[in-house]
Amino acid sequence: MSQAKVDRYKEEKANRKKTMKKEKAMRILYSVIGTLVCLVLVSWIAYSAYGYFHNQDSQTTASRTEVNVDALNDYLGALSTDSAE
């Protein structure tokens, strides 16, 4: 090996702990950032789904309607009495 390669190897070996520590810190940082991004994404999807279904439920609530069928009952009653005679 040439002297330059030997010097480079010795320098790498001397800084190996520092380099490993830096790589480990970066790996942890990327993991934390990735986890946060996923958490935000899942939260946003859940919030959107809740808003969508919650608004849909409030729009489809049943309303009470009263219908006066007295005229229909009178008509049907008149038909049944006419056919009986």
* Helical spans, DSSP H, in the chain: 3-14, 16-59, 70-84
Which SS3 state, helix, strand or coil, does residue 2 take? coil
pLDDT of 61: 58
- Residue reference for tokens 């070996």: 13
Query: Percent of the chain scored above 70 by pLDDT?
Result: 86
State the residue range of the domain holding 41: 3-61
pTM: 0.51
Average pLDDT over the chain, rounded to an integer:
86
- Residue reference for tokens 């330059």: 4
Check whether 36 has a pLDDT greater than 80. Answer: yes
Looking at the structure of the chain, the number of domains it has is 1
Has residue 83 been placed in a domain? no
Has residue 46 been placed in a domain? yes
With cut-offs at 50, 70 and 90, classify the pLDDT of residue 54.
confident
Average pLDDT over residues 32-42: 97
Has residue 17 been placed in a domain? yes
For residue 12, give every residue at least 6 positions away whose Cβ sits within 8 Å of its Cβ, in sequence order, or none: 19
Has residue 10 been placed in a domain? yes
Has residue 71 been placed in a domain? no
Spatial distance between the Cα atoms of 50 and 41, rounded to a whole number of angstroms: 14
